[in-house]
Structure 1
Amino acid sequence: MRASRLLSLLMLLQTRGRVTAAELARELEVSVRTVYRDVEALSAAGVPVYADRGPVGGYRLLDGYRTRLNGLTAEEASSLFLAALPGPAAELGLGELAAAAELKVLAALPPEPRSHATRMRERFHLDVPGWYGGAEEAPFLGRVSEAVWDQRPLRMTYRRWGPQEVERLVHPYGLVLKGGSWYMVAAAVRGTGERPEQGRVRQAGGPAGERSGQETGEQVGRGEPRTYKVARIMTAALLEGRFERPAGFDLAAFWTRYTAEFRERMYTAHAVIRLAPGMEGLLRHTVGEDAATAALTGAGPPDERGRRILRLPVESVRHARWLLLRLGAGVEVLEPPELRAAMAEAAAALTRLYGPPEAASAPG
C-alpha cells in the first residue's frame, strides 16, 4: 500500500510541479504528517524532492527530473486502455495522437501489465451513442475545441429551442460528452452590441479576414457559465486574443451540479396514473429511470387486477401525453383532468383513424 502511495506522490509532483503538503494529503487521502514521512522516504531513495518555503512554497522535483512509466500495476494499466475513447478523440481531431500515445504507453509497460492492457483492448469496446439516437453531427466541434484549448473567444450563431437563432459571444471553458452528444460549457459576454470594435476574426470554414463590428473578444461583462449543445451551433468564428479562465473553475464539478439542477428543473408537474402489471420495464424505458424510480418507489399496493396507482413526475401535460401514449392501454391517466382529456382526445382520434369504415347508406 505504501509503495503505491509513494508512486502516486511522485507522479503528482511530476505532473503538477510545485504542490503543498496539504494538497498532497487531500489527493492521497492521508494526513499531512504522513506526507512528510513519504517525502522523506522518496528523498532517501534518491528522488530529488525539494521543499520551497514561504506562502507560495511547496514540494517540487528537481527541474528536468522524470521517472519512467514502470510503476503501473496490471489492473491500472488495463484501466487506462478501457478508458480510451477513440471515437470522441477522432471527433476532436486527436485520433492519430491518441493512437500514438496508446502505443507509446503500451511499449513502456513491463511484460505483465502490457499483457493485461492488450487483452483489455482486445476484449472490451466502448460505443458511446445509444441504439436509437446515433451520434449527432457537430460540424463546428473542431473550432469549439480549439477555442477551449487556446482560451479564445468565440462568436457563434446558436439555434435555441423554438427554433430560434441567437447571436452569442462566449468564453468557452470546456467540452463535455454526454450520451453521444457534445456540450460546450461557456460564459456569455454581455454588452458588446453597444460598442462595436475592429477585430480580426477567423470564420469557421473560411480564411482569416478583417471584419468590423462586434468581432473582438474584449470582455465587457461575463455571465455565469452555461451549457450549449455543440450540434446546434450554426456558425462559429474564432476571435483573436485570449480570455482568462475563472480561478478555480472545475469542469467536472460544474457538470455534476448542472445535471442535478437540470433534473430538478425538468420535472415541474405530476401525473397520477394507473399502471397495468408487467409494464414497469416499459415505463422506465419510456419516461426515464429517474422519473420511473420515483413513481414506483411511492406506488400504492396493487388492486385485484394487479394494477398500481403511481404519482409520476412529468415535464408538462403536452410532454406527458406524448410519452404515455406510447404505453397504450397499459396505463390509465387519472389526474390532472387536462391530461386525462388530452389522452381521451388522442384515443378518439386513433379510433377514427383505425376504426371500421361506416357502412354505406342503403339506396332509398
Structure 2
Amino acid sequence: MNPIDRALGILLVLSAGKLVSATTLSERFTVSLRTIYRDVDRLIALGVPVEAERGAEGGYRLAGGYHQPPVALTRKETAALLVALAFVRGIRATPLASELETAESKLISALPKSAKDLLSRAERIIGIEPMAVDVFHHATQAPPVGEWQAALDGFMEGILAGCRVRFEHRNPARDEIREHEVEPYGILFDRNLWYLAGRSVDADDLRIYRADRLRNLTVTGLRFRAPKEFSVESLLGGAWLSRAMRRWAQEDGLAELRVTAEQARRLSQDWFYRHALFTPDGTGAVRVRLADTSAERLYPLLRWLGPGAELIAPEALRAGLAAELAAMAAAHGGAAP
C-alpha cells in the first residue's frame, strides 16, 4: 500500500469518531509506528484536523464536527479540476483564495508521480489570458486590493454559515460611505469584477454590491435562512445590471439623450448601455435615459455616437459639451498637410 492510500485509510478509520491508538493503526496497516507518525503528520499538513491524546490510553481522532470521506478521482478528473483552478487563479480576487491553494495541494499530492510531475506546475501547460481593460467603461475597472479579497471571503463565510454580514459600502456617485447589514445569498462574476447579492435588512430588498467598494466586512452572529426560490442564475445575462440601473435612476436622477434609431441599435448591443431605458419619441428618434449624469461618462459616449446624438439632460452639461466639440472641430478645420 502506498503512502497516499494508507493516509486515506487512516482518515477513513478516524472518521468513525473514536480514539484510535498508533499501535492499532500500525497493526491494521502492517507498518511501523514511525510510519504511522509520518502518515498522521502528512494528514495534518494537508489541513486535516487530527487531534492527538498522549498517555497509555491515548491515540488519534478527528476534531469534533469534521468529517471528510475520501474521494476517489481519476487522473483525468483531477487534471480537469486543476485546469479549473488555473482558470480561477487568473481572476482578480478569488473567493476563499487561501483555501483554493490548499485544495490544489491536496489534489496534486494524491496523484501518481508521473502525473504529479506534469501538473504540479499547471501554468506550464495551461494558459489563461486575463480580460483586457475596457477603456470605454472605465468605471467598471478596479485594481485588486486586500480589502476586496477580505470582503469577498467574508461574504462567502456568511453564505456558508447562514449568518448576516455587516460592512461599509462606498458609493462613488454620491461620494459617501454607508453601513449596511445584509443577508448574503450569492456571488457573481461579471467582466472582471465580483458582485455580492443579498437582502438588505434596512431596505428589505435584494441588493447587489460591488465587492471592491466594501470595507470592514464582519460576519455577525445573527443567523438567517435564505429563500429557497432564490438562485443567482436569475441575475445572470445582465439582469442584475438592469435591476440596478432602474434603482440608480430613482436614487440619483437621470441623464437623457436623443439618438437616431441606428444609434439606439448600436447602444443596445453594448453590454452596459443595453440596460438603459429606451423610448421611441414618435419622430423616428429614440430617447435614452441613463442613471449616470457625469460629464466623464456622457461626453465620451456622445462623441462615440457622433452626429445625430444630442444631450438633453442634465442641461448644465450641454455648454461644456458644445465647447469641447467646437475645440475638436477647430483642430480639424484646417487642410490636411
Structure 2 length normalisation: TM-score?
A: 0.50
Structure 1 length normalisation: TM-score?
A: 0.47
